[in-house]
Amino acid sequence: MNFAQIDIGLEYIVIIMALIILYMLYFIISKDAHYTKNIRSIASVVEELNKEIFFLKKELAKSAQKLTDTQRMSDEEIYQEIERSVYDMVQPLKGTLQEIHQDIDSLRSEVELRVAQLESGVLSPLLSTVMMMKRLSPCISRGSQLKRSQKSYTFQNLKLNLC
């Protein structure tokens, strides 16, 4: 009985051990499926990153090739380009300044002409007045002498003395 009881107990222990092993097997398989799923998603992300890195490297190579293909301007070329730009901007200003200079010259000549006309117009009456005063000064002095002497003369008498 001892052996029979041990056999029955042993059978239960073997069955329990078999169930534990089956459970562990199930647990390992389910975890393996879960980990495999996660690894696949990580692998797909890594694959996409690799593709993106490849395309970025390709674009970088193209950009570097374009930069080496295009020639940079030398300092002399830059200076000449700046000089041309400044010349193009100054030309309209130069023309405008020349027109303004011509206008100022024409205005100056007109003003000088008008001043000369005004001076001649003012001077000629002044000169004629001064000349008349010189010519009339003897008459005026005679007139003042006549006034003192109280003699009366007519305008025609004075005129005769002047001529």
CA-CA-CA-CA dihedral for 110, 112, 115, 119, to nearest 10:
-130
The H or E element that residue 93 is part of is: helix 75-149
Q: Is the pLDDT of residue 161 over 80?
A: no
Q: What is the pLDDT of residues 101-145, one digit of tens each?
A: 888 888 888 888 887 777 776 656 655 666 666 665 665 665 555
Residue 162: predicted pLDDT: 46
Q: What is the pLDDT of residues 55-102, one digit of tens each?
A: 999 999 998 888 777 766 777 888 888 888 888 888 888 888 888 888
CB 136 within 8 A of CB 162: yes
CB 158 within 8 A of CB 139: yes
